[in-house]
Amino acid sequence: MLREIVLDTETTGTDAKGGDRLIEIGCVELINHIRTGKTFHRFVNPQRPVSEGAFAVHGLSDAFLADKPVFADIVDALLEFCGDARLVIHNAAFDVGFLNMEFARLKPSAPPPIVLEDVVDTLALARRRHPGAANNLDALCSRYGIDNTKRTKHGALLDAEILAEVYIELLGGKQTSLGLAAVAAGAADSDGRTADRPDEPIVLPVRTMRNRLTESERERHAAFIGTLGGSVIWREYLGEDSGA
């Protein structure tokens, strides 16, 4: 089973090293590239003002954030939700930089920093797939026909939900998701490949309709095709020797 967390953040500004802080986190769970419906969402009191530029992007004001918990109060819930799942982030260096900055502030009990190389960066994926094109989230939504009309302002959970759809398209679209869902339900090919190794081709086992017929149904159907003059097609459907 492949578990991934699509994650997005909003911040007071763009400079984590210069003192800007994280103010919102949104996460969406994927199992084998399928959304499970489980999400994580928290607003955070940054204990510093939101810059005018950042406010214009996300609309989260100092007054709104004043009564929200500080990062130290929500970090355990965040880590529990993410567990050991692989993170999927658009422009990962930005969000990882802010998360690691917030982790470092928790010394001496700080969790280990996130290793950027372990994160799936959908911006990098998009640039490889669409070199030279605009690859921000809005451009990708337009390219893949994903509805983002609710995105009048940036919001961590909404953006994570949209990014989850974009990520599936970057991987090859909904057909990939359907195949992985079938594997997750217990299907595997003759080599034993499963969605734990999603980069390998997935070949689902052949399941014919005759595998689903009961003995009574087979008998009734045999009686029916007896009236059709020995149709080869119907006999092949039942898996019978046509005599040819």
Asked if pLDDT for residue 22 goes beyond 60, the answer is yes
Environment class of 50 (CB within 10 Å of its CB; exposed 0-12, middle 13-18, buried 19+): buried
Q: What is the total count of domains within the chain?
A: 2
Residues 226 and 146 in one domain: no
Cα distance between residue 142 and residue 36, in whole Å: 24
118 within domain boundaries: yes
Cα distance between residue 147 and residue 98, in whole Å: 28
Residues 166 and 99 in one domain: yes
Residues 164 and 214 in one domain: no
Among the candidates 119, 144, 172, a domain finishes at 172
Binding residues: 8, 10, 58, 159
The single residue of 90, 130, 154, 221 carrying the catalytic annotation is 154
Binding residues for substrate: 8, 10, 58, 159
pLDDT tens-digit readout, 173-217: 764 444 444 444 433 333 333 333 334 333 333 333 334 445 665
Residues 64 and 168 in one domain: yes
With b for 16 or more beta-carbon neighbours within 10 A and e for fewer, the 196-223 pattern comes to eebeeebeeeeeeeeeebeeeeeeeeee
pLDDT tens-digit readout, 108-117: 999 999 999 9
- pLDDT-wise least confident of 99-103, 110-114, 124-128, 192-196: 192-196
Cis peptide before 205 (omega within 30 of 0): no
The CATH number of the domain holding residue 143 is 3.30.420.10
Residues 154 and 54 in one domain: yes
Task: Kindly report the pTM of this predicted structure.
Answer: 0.71
- Judge whether 41 counts as a catalytic residue: no
38 within domain boundaries: yes
203 within domain boundaries: no
Residues 118 and 217 in one domain: no
pLDDT tens-digit readout, 140-155: 999 999 988 877 678 9
Domain that holds residue 54: 3-172
